[in-house]
Chains A and B, each alone.
Chain A
């Protein structure tokens, strides 16, 4: 049977010039439930689907507030994300202490990128199995960054990662031109709609499985869960009740 000889560690290239361990790590991101992020000229928003392992269990944590000006959303190994978020928290506090300055988002992003990259070049280490969206505001306004296990980071206008996130990205691409001018509420609606796109047919966004994070100019990063997001869900999918009762046609046009 064929066996891949080049995926035992993250320091060996395959003859095709690939590092399989890093690619596998990217697969881990796709196992995680979907998260999306969007920025406008004034705000940046994160939205995430939370999964629960079973009916009786609690829902997993998808959005973490790191500092008062930004937070992250994660897709993939939650425990790896916790390690990264602890590091980010430390770095953010250190920046505030030594310079009395909120750490710029590009700075914190490149610091975790450097950490992730070393994991792909040292024997005996493994890449982080998590992708992050970093959203918030700094001195230069609102930002959204995407972080991948390979150490690749990019600034984004809108982004979706995680399981079935292609559907969300398609939605985001279709509405790309609208985002810049969006206000806070509209941006949240877009994020929720994009999230909805990547949900399987029989699933709904509820106050239990959805998580939202918002930051804006002159406005700290706030993480919303539970009843706090009910109004947005109602406003975004106002015809939901009707759809459920009347016909399945409306539902199908959604997908």
Chain B
């Protein structure tokens, strides 16, 4: 506190006491008191299908044990027309530090809008995905503290889903859960979407046993999976709850739904 009152006596001049006093600072840096990040909790999840992609996130925003608000969306339409992003075909979900998430969303949205203005056509999901990776990587020494998931349809009309770490590593995947309850949801998804640890009954014994082959799931089934994943996560994680926002991207556009979750 007193560091701010710098009415210091002349440097190296006579001390103000008869005792010998140190006139240089003690070695070693003094600690910084400001930590520029916060964890706003919440969880997101994305699953891609044959001709659709679903992104979902809860709407609770927390700070420690406090709930900031029960409705703070983590899903954002990217690159549509005007402030409401009408006609957008790409969705970004961000979870982690909400202020960074918001800033990241605005950066990406502006870039995609400028792309359309300059090239006269909308940006493809794969191009947008790579650009997002660069944005994150460019700030790797002071990262956007978020786990991002980007969803849309690829050039062939198939569901496309990309997930990121805070410094820009990215990968196209079938499904991904991120945020506070990622560790609760991801194993469920591994089992239910990629059929991990599922075997065809009676196909053999021991190593002969055949694994069940993963295949794209129908849209209504995926919606059920998403709702189940979140209702379960709400039960076991205090930072997840209040509401479930879903965006379903198909060739027809983006359909947005909201389902209430438990508020406890």
Q: Direct A–B touching in the complex (beta carbon < 8 Å)?
A: yes
| In the complex, residue of chain A having the shortest beta-carbon distance to the beta carbon of B113 | A93
Q: How far is the CB of B72 from chain A (nearest CB, A)?
A: 16
* Set of chain A residues within 8 Å of B201, measured between Cβ atoms: none
Q: Is the CB of B110 within 8 A of A100?
A: no
- What 0/1 pattern do residues 103 to 118 of B give for CB contact below 8 A with A? 0001000100110010
- What 0/1 pattern do residues 60 to 83 of B give for CB contact below 8 A with A? 000000000000000000000111
Choose among B81, B110, B114, B117 the residue that contacts A97 (Cβ–Cβ < 8 A): B110
Q: Is the CB of A220 within 8 A of B81?
A: yes
Q: Is the CB of B82 within 8 A of A69?
A: yes
* Bound CA span A69–B83, Å: 10
* Set of chain A residues within 8 Å of B113, measured between Cβ atoms: 93
* Set of chain B residues within 8 Å of A220, measured between Cβ atoms: 81-82
Q: Is the CB of B81 within 8 A of A68?
A: yes
Q: Is the CB of A89 within 8 A of B117?
A: yes
Q: How far is the CB of A152 from chain B (nearest CB, A)?
A: 27
Interface positions, chain B 3-46, Cβ under 8 Å from A, are none
Q: How far is the CB of A110 from chain B (nearest CB, A)?
A: 22
Q: Does A96 contact B (CB under 8 A)?
A: yes
Q: How far is the CB of B64 from chain A (nearest CB, A)?
A: 28
| In the complex, residue of chain A having the shortest beta-carbon distance to the beta carbon of B82 | A68
* Set of chain A residues within 8 Å of B106, measured between Cβ atoms: 97
* Bound CA span A167–B249, Å: 51
* Set of chain B residues within 8 Å of A97, measured between Cβ atoms: 106, 110
Residue count of chain B within 8 Å CB distance of chain A: 8
Q: How far is the CB of B219 from chain A (nearest CB, A)?
A: 31
Choose among B81, B82, B83, B114 the residue that contacts A89 (Cβ–Cβ < 8 A): B114
- What 0/1 pattern do residues 64 to 103 of A give for CB contact below 8 A with B? 0001110000000000000000000100010011001010
* Bound CA span A69–B82, Å: 8
Q: Is the CB of B82 within 8 A of A100?
A: no
* Bound CA span A171–B81, Å: 35
* Bound CA span A96–B82, Å: 9
* Set of chain A residues within 8 Å of B83, measured between Cβ atoms: 68, 96, 100, 102
Q: Is the CB of A93 within 8 A of B110?
A: yes
Query: Which among A68, A97, A100, A102 has the highest number of chain B CB atoms within 10 Å?
Result: A68
* Bound CA span A12–B145, Å: 56
- What 0/1 pattern do residues 24 to 42 of A give for CB contact below 8 A with B? 0000000000000000000
Q: How far is the CB of B118 from chain A (nearest CB, A)?
A: 9
Q: How far is the CB of B244 from chain A (nearest CB, A)?
A: 26
Q: How far is the CB of B129 from chain A (nearest CB, A)?
A: 22
Interface positions, chain A 212-241, Cβ under 8 Å from B, are 220
* Set of chain B residues within 8 Å of A68, measured between Cβ atoms: 81-83
* Set of chain B residues within 8 Å of A102, measured between Cβ atoms: 83
Q: How far is the CB of B160 from chain A (nearest CB, A)?
A: 26
- What 0/1 pattern do residues 87 to 123 of A give for CB contact below 8 A with B? 0010001001100101000000000000000000000
- What 0/1 pattern do residues 123 to 150 of B give for CB contact below 8 A with A? 0000000000000000000000000000
* Set of chain A residues within 8 Å of B117, measured between Cβ atoms: 89
Q: How far is the CB of A56 from chain B (nearest CB, A)?
A: 21
* Bound CA span A35–B114, Å: 26
* Bound CA span A68–B82, Å: 5
Q: How far is the CB of B80 from chain A (nearest CB, A)?
A: 9
Q: How far is the CB of A215 from chain B (nearest CB, A)?
A: 12
* Set of chain B residues within 8 Å of A96, measured between Cβ atoms: 83
| In the complex, residue of chain A having the shortest beta-carbon distance to the beta carbon of B83 | A96
* Bound CA span A102–B81, Å: 13
| In the complex, residue of chain B having the shortest beta-carbon distance to the beta carbon of A61 | B120
Q: How far is the CB of B41 from chain A (nearest CB, A)?
A: 25
* Bound CA span A220–B114, Å: 18
**Chain A residues engaging chain B, CB cutoff 8 angstroms:** 67-69, 89, 93, 96-97, 100, 102, 220
Q: Please, could you name 17 A-B residue pairs with CB atoms under 8 Å apart, sorted by A?
A: A67-B82, A68-B81, A68-B82, A68-B83, A69-B82, A89-B114, A89-B117, A93-B110, A93-B113, A93-B114, A96-B83, A97-B106, A97-B110, A100-B83, A102-B83, A220-B81, A220-B82
**Chain B residues engaging chain A, CB cutoff 8 angstroms:** 81-83, 106, 110, 113-114, 117
Closest 8 CB pairs of A and B: A68-B82, A68-B81, A93-B110, A89-B117, A97-B106, A220-B82, A96-B83, A220-B81
